[in-house]
Amino acid sequence: MTLEKKFYIRGMHCAACSTGSERVMRKQKGVVRAEVNLAAETATVEYDPELIKLSQIKAAVARLGYTTEDYEDTQAQSLEEERRLAEHRRSKRRLAAALASAALLLYVSMGHMLPAAPPLPRFMDMESAPLGYALVQLVLAAAVLAAGRDFYISGVKSLIRLIPNMDTLVAIGTGSAFVYSCYALARIALGRADFVHNLFFESSAVVVALVMLGKHLEAGSKAKTSDAIRRLTKLAPDRALIEKDGAQIEVEASELAVGDIAVVLPGGRFPCDGVVLSGVSTADNSMLTGESLPVVLEPGSRVTGGAINGEGMIRFRATEVGGDTALSHIIRMVRDAQGKKAPIAKVADSVAAYFVPAVMAIAFISAAAWLIAGRDIEFALNTFVSVLVIACPCALGLATPTAIMVGTGRAAQLGVLFKSGEALQAASGLTHIALDKTGTLTEGKPSLTAIEAAGGLAEDELLSLAASLERGSEHPVAKAILRASDERGFVPRALDGITALPGRGVEAAVDGASVCVGSERLMREKGIDVSPMAPRASELQSRGSIIMYCAAGDRLLGLFAASDRIKPESSAAVGRLVSMGLKVTMLTGDVEAAAAAVAKAAGIESYIAGVLPSDKAEAVARLKASGGKVAMIGDGINDAPALAAADVGIAVGGGTDIAVESADVVLINGSLSSAADAISLARAVMRNIKQNLFWAFFYNCAGIPFAAGLFYAFGGPRLNPMIAGGAMALSSVCVVANALRLRRFKPK
């Protein structure tokens, strides 16, 4: 038996960091699977607890120089925003110092090239005081490198552990330029004034300052990828008003317990889930479900924590509090999805594992090649530094997870929960949609529209008998029969040996006689002739009604007809799915005529009638076998196998827990139109990821040869290390900025 756990890894800077952490964890005995999400800074590990403990896995990661935090530690989660803000402020102060020092250094080293620039003081003039000139540059460069010391600490540690990362490239490149400049300064001090032209302090300092600027901008952009989570977290109020000992008192929302009677005033937010006891109002669930229309609240209505109360005061009993509320479940689902990788991320992971060592090799080879070709040490060193600092494993590492994080967050705002990046990627490639009818296309609450008794039996007697058998059944028509029976005040009869017949009906003994209620198929199995009522049944079915028969022994007693109204938005939602190039098929247990009527009303051309609950998964398998990718949309217990069998299972949020657990995507508001939103967003996210990966690969494939001097060898331009550093810093910023465009996604 294996366990799956998540924890935070702090201190990662690029794809090489995340892949290195994954590699170390996978090497531990007992670890079955390990995934690290760079953007979310999370690790998901599956392991055998009899062979290794989570603390040992964390210790292996810590030995790489990173710190770990418990994922389920609520205090750590609540402090996450505060930690990020503190780090951002610290980064801002260091960046300001680095940029100021780098700007002064640029003026000292290159100001003489500007025609209108004021001259430098005599004690630091390049011609009259070369040593002073060099010492001032040393001080300013050292200030920049001190501000950016994290690059050197992390880079050297990673190199020692043979897991080099982006920091290693920056540290080696800028460090080499700084060390060589110190050598040149020493030669100047020994009387070789000509070495004043061999100083590279400005290159090392400006590159570090630009990379720091890029990381600062990147961190600010990355923080925005979790905006959806932060907004959801802030929905639940900190305080709650409860009734106790005849008085209303205010308490911390965290102190609420199941059974407490809470009061929410107009305009307030519900602190937890519950059932309305008194009061009439409306609730705004838009931030939870994406549904803009208010929900009517009255005694017996369900309320959801985080929703905004409308115009009336509401008293309700708490039924789910703390981590058990719907809002808490939504937040956990989104957080889990943001931490899981999509299969497409494996492309970047595969490259990242070899990227940094390959770049280091290219830098050494290109510098050596230019020296062999007769170029001086200045040219070779510039080439060496340029290659190291232009390479950007960060862009590769952020290309996929940032888009997944922003996409799943935006989906939650639209009332859609993707359970993983894999589900999101699979949804983007769908070609076929299989729809359950009842509760998905229709309201799932059929009303009894006709009662036809046979053989002189009274209508009320037939209804009373059928309702006695259907008591406790979950079938929609059974519920319609029960509602009609209760409205007429009938008392259930005594039954003996009741037997449920899945997909067909129910059977029991009443006053010693065998009575059954169910489909025409059940009647045939029992050898009961339904032909006398066939014309009437056909007429009702042609209108979309569902027919159930009642029989005693071998005698037909009559039939019931019930119809389930199509949801108002179903036809438009089906139209959207079809316009997106998807083939839609309806699955239903109804007979052919009833299925045809519903399909026609919903605008569906393809349907499969007479499908038993146990056969839905097989029907989905047949659709998959015909080619393409199939999604199943359903809401009931009998849909769970089909949801699991589909390439993507989509559960309507109002459905059963089993259906929701079996699904890959959950539609919180229960609206079929949200399925079109989900697929449309998934496609947009995948386009965004492919754009990110393309530009990340293109940038590195073009930038590294350019920095190595390949174009210069054929008469093209050279790349200055400072420009290379700036380009590297901006590359990852561009990737994150592109992903952030998904926050503005609007379904069409």
Can you give 255-301 as a three-state secondary structure string? Answer: HCCCCCEEEECCCCECCCEEEEEECCEEEECHHHHCCCCCEEECCCC
Cβ-contact 667, 652 below 8 angstroms: yes
Instruction: Identify residue 689 by its one-letter amino acid code.
Output: I
- Residue from 341, 322, 292 nearest 674 by CA: 292
Give the SS3 label for residue 95.
helix
Cβ-contact 417, 617 below 8 angstroms: no
Beta bridge partners of 297: 281
Q: How far apart are CA 260 and CA 493, in angstroms?
A: 39
Distances (CA, A) of 448 to 193, 274, 469, 520, 570: 102, 31, 16, 17, 22
∠ CA(612), CA(615), CA(618), 5° rounding? Answer: 160
Q: Look up residue 629 and give its two tokens.
A: 């990718």
The total of other beta-carbon atoms located within 10 Å of residue 113's CB is 7
Reported for 46-55, long-range contacts at CB under 8 A and 24+ positions apart, including other chains, are 46/2, 46/3, 46/4, 47/2, 47/3, 47/5, 48/1, 48/2, 48/3, 49/1, 49/2, 49/3, 52/28, 54/3, 54/5, 54/7
Distances (CA, A) of 703 to 31, 358, 359, 725: 38, 14, 11, 11
Q: Which residues, other chains included, contact 677 with Cβ-Cβ below 8 Å and sequence gap of 6+?
A: 290, 411, 414, 415, 416, 747
The total of other beta-carbon atoms located within 10 Å of residue 67's CB is 11
Helices 149-160 and 166-189 sit at what angle, rounded to 10 degrees? 110
Q: Which residues, other chains included, contact 354 with Cβ-Cβ below 8 Å and sequence gap of 6+?
A: none
Q: Which of 167, 436, 564, 639 is catalytic?
A: 436
Whether 436 is catalytic is yes
The total of other beta-carbon atoms located within 10 Å of residue 207's CB is 33
Give the SS3 label for residue 50.
coil
Give the SS3 label for residue 10.
strand
What DSSP letter does each residue of 678-717 carry, written as one string? HHHHHHHHHHHHHHHHHHHHHHHHHHHHHHHTHHHHTT--
Q: How far apart are CA 152 and CA 607, in angstroms?
A: 64
- Residue from 404, 14, 10 nearest 229 by CA: 404
Q: Which residues are tagged catalytic?
A: 436
